[in-house]
Structure 1
Amino acid sequence: MRINELYSDILMENTQYEFKAVLNQDNPIKWAKTIVAFANGDGGYIFVGVSNERDAFGLSLEEVDKTKNLVAVENDRHIFPHAKISYLLRSVDDNADHFVLGIRVYPAESVVRYREGDFNETVYVKGDGNSTPATPEDIISLSKRKFGVDNETTEKMYSADQWTDYIDLCKTYRSDGAEPGIKELQNEEIVSKDGFVKSGFLMFKDDYNGDDSLICCRLWRGKNKTGIVLDTLKVKGPISKGLKSAIAFIERNTKTGWKKTPAGGREEVLSYPREAIREALVNAFAHRDYSINGTQIDVDIYLDRIDIVSPGSWLLPKDYNEYPAGSIPSIRRNTIIAACFDVANLMERGGTGFQTMIESYKDVPEDKQPCVMIYPGFLDLRLYDKLYETTDDFKEMTDAELVLHLLEDGPKSASELQSATTYGSRSRFLEEVINPLIKDEKIYREGGIKSPKSVYKIKK
């Protein structure tokens, strides 16, 4: 029997129909990618029990049940978000012993991926009789209909007293210093007309504590991660808290210099312009892929640069270096989170954030301009220290400078200070680092010289 004798309008494989003799359980990607591709398109049918030559020989009822179970398991374990599927049967013989199983895949509201492990995801699209990995251009096209992980309407009603941290963020950065009203949040579709918040806005709620909001900050002594960590910060909570904490961490661990003005005065020069830091962090929070479990935003401060690494693939059709400086198109992975930053005056719909960073670095050489490095599943936005190597004051810290830096955060014991240095001998550390600092009246000891509770403090 031919397939068109069962379904008169089906003549051959195309973008809506595909034939499979059986579904191989040992190599499920061969047919699961078709489910993903149909879900990413207009939907379609996989007919199992049909040869490539359109002969419909069918499956036994036992084989039908095993096939449906195999599809359900694969959909549950490897297809995200899960594809919506239904089944239909047509008998191929008079005794109804064998059936063609039709697997109907419905079009998805968001981009569907086939996942093999946490960091190996592939988007497939349907061609004429085949399913192929999506190109960056395909993904951008699919993203036009992707609402993102943050656009679902929840059952939580908006109440300003539960979003105080976000409101404080708005007051800090809005030019009018005003609190956003419910009407404004509704106009931006952050809150529904009935007052229910979107899932992305929940990530700004005061008591939010999801693992997906984690941001990890580290200060390294040298130019790579093989050096000593001088300071660390981990923040998990509302996005607004993570943003403010990361900005504060960078500001306390980077330098301020001065340059003469034409009028003879002094002008402050920062290692990293405030607007560049702010834009880089907002970009990381707004565009990271929150669907990748077990990841976080990483902020690493090195001697000469800051790397801000966020999970999520590069969605644009061209490589970063193929776009003119400051003209990278804006594609929003998380529409509601980005809208929340819009309302707080921290992000513009025109995608001018990177241009702002470029402008703040216009007085430095081209090789020190902000840049994006693309890795599989991650983006690294790099900012260079504008003060590094411009004067002798900004060379790598000596052990004495390191001790003073550590004590700026509060009193510490000799053992705590020594552990951050290269000294293995306590006596040499005290003799060569601590005692000279005491003699120069830069620090002092509180407590007896042999007391285990004694600590060192900066002398004001």
Structure 2
Amino acid sequence: MDKIELLKLINKGESSFVEFKADTPDIKAETIGEYVVCFANSKGGKILLGVEDDGTITGLKGRFSEYGKWISDAVQGWAHPNIIVDYEEVPVEEDLRVAVITVPMSVAKPYSKRKGKDAKERYYIRDVTSCRETDREELRRLFQSSGMIHFEVTPVPRSKPEDLNETLLVEYFRRVRDIGYDDKPKWLRLLIDNQILSEELGAVNCTLAGLILFGKKDRVKKLIPQSGISAVEYDSPDADVAGRFRKEINGPLISLRENSGVIAEEGIIDQAVNFVLRVRSKEKIEGTRRVTEYAYPPEVLREAIVNAVAHRDYTIGGTNIGLWLYPDRFEIDSPGNLPNTITIERMKSGARYHRNQTIVDYLRDMNFIEGSGRGVSRKIIRGMIEHNGKEPDFELRGEALRVTLYA
């Protein structure tokens, strides 16, 4: 970084990616470690040492003979696991230098601040222009994004085996596993062994995955209120205009079918697909045949909705998946950032990530998800290009991944 680049950066002020720190005696090694951990747990960033909060450049004060070594020792001593940062000193004027510490967007989250192997670990994240300690839910999301814990197999408090739809479960194990219903004790053990039920809390509870996949509609809505889809139809392409029709879609992911294969009760996936198809399709006569024209191919819609429910971050409470249907486009927002190492470009090119591996496994068993994991590239992108020549958009919007299909 040269002087001009540094001055431009300072002129923009502090942000989610830039922190100013004056080189004063209260800036200790622990302080540096805390801010490095904060940026590493977020999306990376830069610490400018020698700059006041208001952007005034006061420079390094010569407190250390080698600032680079002091920074390196501070990071190694306080950040866990180890983070490699980039350090450089940028001269602004004669005898006026600013240290630039660049923290990469790291892949071994979550990082903690601690001094010594046996010390208490503290976790920090970037919050707009400051660093703060994580709360319990944020820490759980950090651990889940790292793959160190799988939230979908944790027990749901106050749930019980009777909250599951036994007909759905019997159908799944009969059709997919070729296992019939026997006696109740063996059946409970089967569900525990397959992570549909859990004994972790000293009683038998449903796991989050078990309830979301096979739960009774009213119990899923009550015990996991963030598991639904809020679907809204608009008359105008303007997102600020009130929607014409709104539907709250709740219940298990899986539809209940009769022996003939006819759907007796729609699950969330089929409800969401049919919400769009009923509104954005029309029939016409070709010769002697009645043909249905779809604004969005059913298989593309299904893939986009399945991805949203399979990969959303269920640790984020208070928000459903959002399905927005405009005259010119279809948008679906799935809560949760992309997991470590995954970018939108990697996802579009076929890189696989499974935030909720157990849910994905069951959906794959029932042919909702293909084994190759290339549904985004093969079904969504290729499907829309073949349908109308318009490539879908994928973007991160805050704490959600948005997929947009164009009519």
Query: Does the C-alpha gap of structure 1 residues 140 and 364 become closer, same or farther in structure 2, counting only changes over 3 Å?
Result: farther
Stretches of structure 1 that go unaligned for 5 or more consecutive residues are 1-21, 41-50, 55-80, 89-101, 124-138, 386-460
8 Å contact 1:35–1:105 — kept in the other structure? no
Which of 251, 255, 271 is residue 277 of structure 2 equivalent to? Answer: 251
Structure 2 counterpart SS, 1:252: helix
Once the two structures are TM-superposed, the CA of residue 146 in structure 1 deviates from its matched residue by 2.5
Once the two structures are TM-superposed, the CA of residue 219 in structure 1 deviates from its matched residue by 0.4
Indicate yes or no: 2:337 matched with 1:335.
no
8 Å contact 2:163–2:211 — kept in the other structure? no
Once the two structures are TM-superposed, the CA of residue 185 in structure 1 deviates from its matched residue by 5.8
Quote the residue 2:94 is aligned against. none
8 Å contact 1:38–1:105 — kept in the other structure? no
AA partner of residue 149 (structure 2) = F
AA partner of residue 279 (structure 1) = E
Stretches of structure 2 that go unaligned for 5 or more consecutive residues are 1-24, 43-63, 71-108, 135-140, 182-186, 255-266
Trace 1:193-204 onto structure 2 (pairs within 5 A): 197-204=206-213
Quote the residue 1:212 is aligned against. 226
TM-score by length of 2: 0.53
In 2, Cα distance between the equivalents of 1:35 and 1:212?
A: 30
Structure 2 counterpart SS, 1:226: coil
Once the two structures are TM-superposed, the CA of residue 334 in structure 1 deviates from its matched residue by 1.7
8 Å contact 2:364–2:370 — kept in the other structure? yes
Once the two structures are TM-superposed, the CA of residue 273 in structure 1 deviates from its matched residue by 1.6
TM-score by length of 1: 0.48
Structure 2 counterpart SS, 1:372: strand
In 2, Cα distance between the equivalents of 1:267 and 1:346?
A: 26
Structure 1 counterpart SS, 2:387: coil
Query: Does the C-alpha gap of structure 1 residues 169 and 364 become closer, same or farther in structure 2, counting only changes over 3 Å?
Result: farther
Quote the residue 1:104 is aligned against. 119
Quote the residue 2:125 is aligned against. 114
Quote the residue 2:168 is aligned against. 167
Structure 1 counterpart SS, 2:168: helix
Quote the residue 1:5 is aligned against. none
8 Å contact 2:233–2:245 — kept in the other structure? yes
Which of 331, 334, 337 is residue 313 of structure 1 equivalent to? Answer: 337
Which of 138, 151, 154 is residue 152 of structure 1 equivalent to? Answer: 154
Which of 228, 235, 242 is residue 268 of structure 2 equivalent to? Answer: 242
Work out the percentage of aligned pairs sharing the same amino acid. Answer: 19
Q: Encode CA deviations 1:92-140: one digit per residue, 9 max, x unaligned.
A: xxxxxxxxxx86146x9xxx763749xx9999xxxxxxxxxxxxxxx99
In 2, Cα distance between the equivalents of 1:215 and 1:23?
A: 49
Trace 1:373-384 onto structure 2 (pairs within 5 A): 373-384=395-406
Quote the residue 1:364 is aligned against. 387
In 2, Cα distance between the equivalents of 1:237 and 1:372?
A: 27
Query: Does the C-alpha gap of structure 1 residues 185 and 352 become closer, same or farther in structure 2, counting only changes over 3 Å?
Result: farther
Trace 1:42-441 onto structure 2 (pairs within 5 A): 104-105=119-120, 114=125, 116=127, 143=145, 145-153=147-155, 159=161, 162-164=163-165, 167=168, 189-191=195-197, 197-204=206-213, 205-206=215-216, 207-208=219-220, 209=222, 210-240=224-254, 241-258=267-284, 260=286, 265=289, 267-315=291-339, 317=341, 319-321=343-345, 327-354=349-376, 355-367=378-390, 369-385=391-407
Query: Does the C-alpha gap of structure 1 residues 87 and 323 become closer, same or farther in structure 2, counting only changes over 3 Å?
Result: closer
Larger-Rg structure: 1
Once the two structures are TM-superposed, the CA of residue 230 in structure 1 deviates from its matched residue by 1.6
8 Å contact 2:281–2:292 — kept in the other structure? no
8 Å contact 1:320–1:372 — kept in the other structure? yes
Structure 1 counterpart SS, 2:151: coil
CA RMSD of aligned residues (A): 5.1
Q: Encode CA deviations 1:181-223: one digit per residue, 9 max, x unaligned.
A: 8788667544569986433323342112223223211000011
AA partner of residue 114 (structure 1) = I
AA partner of residue 373 (structure 2) = G
Q: Encode CA deviations 1:223-248: one digit per residue, 9 max, x unaligned.
A: 12233522101234444443343233
Query: Does the C-alpha gap of structure 1 residues 320 and 237 become closer, same or farther in structure 2, counting only changes over 3 Å?
Result: same
AA partner of residue 293 (structure 1) = G
